[in-house]
Amino acid sequence: MSKNATNPSPVQAMIATMYRNRRRLATGFAMALAAILGYFAVAGENGITVYKQKRVEDRQLAAKIDQLKWENGTLQNHVERLKSDPHAIEQKAREILHYTQPGEVIYSLPDAPASNQATNAPAPAHQ
């Protein structure tokens, strides 16, 4: 008889043990792989949490785009009125340049102070 038939070497014993436990090893490997993939699917750089943040940002930007489109439309209408409506031109000239028609009187009020600190500042003490 040969020596290998009665006493297997340690490597052969390990291979034989792995062969007998191959289902357990394969299941353990599959579970570890699934856990790693699950982690990256949730918390990775393209995971679910990043996806949710990007969806919120997308909604905010879409709302801002809608608001800017509305504002752009309003300004475009104003420009069209200023191009074609003489009354709109007159109103804007009166507003910006303070133009008047004969016989009109304009009352101007002084601008409000820039800050209340200047009016509420204590008087300097005399020595």
14-41 per-residue burial string, b: 16 or more CB within 10 A, e: under 16: eeeeeeeeeeeeeeeeeeeeeeeeeeee
Look up residue 43 and give its two tokens.
Answer: 């918390």
* Domain count along the chain: 2
Tell me, yes or no, whether 57 and 96 share the same domain.
yes
Alpha-carbon distance of 85 to 89, in angstroms, equals: 7
64 plus 80 within the same structural domain:
yes
Evaluate whether residue 35 is within a structural domain: yes
Within a domain: residue 1? no
Same domain, 48 and 96: yes
The answer to whether position 30 is within a domain reads: yes
The contacts of residue 118 (CB under 8 Å, 6+ apart) are none
The answer to whether residues 96 and 62 belong to one domain is yes
Domain that holds residue 33: 9-41
Residuewise pLDDT in 10s, the chain (127 residues):
455 556 778 888 888 887 888 888 889 999 999 999 988 888 878 788 888 899 999 999 999 999 999 999 999 999 999 899 888 888 888 888 877 778 888 777 888 776 655 555 555 555 4
Asked whether residue 122 is assigned to any structural domain, the reply reads no
55 and 19 fall within a common domain: no
pTM for this entry: 0.46
DSSP state of 13: H
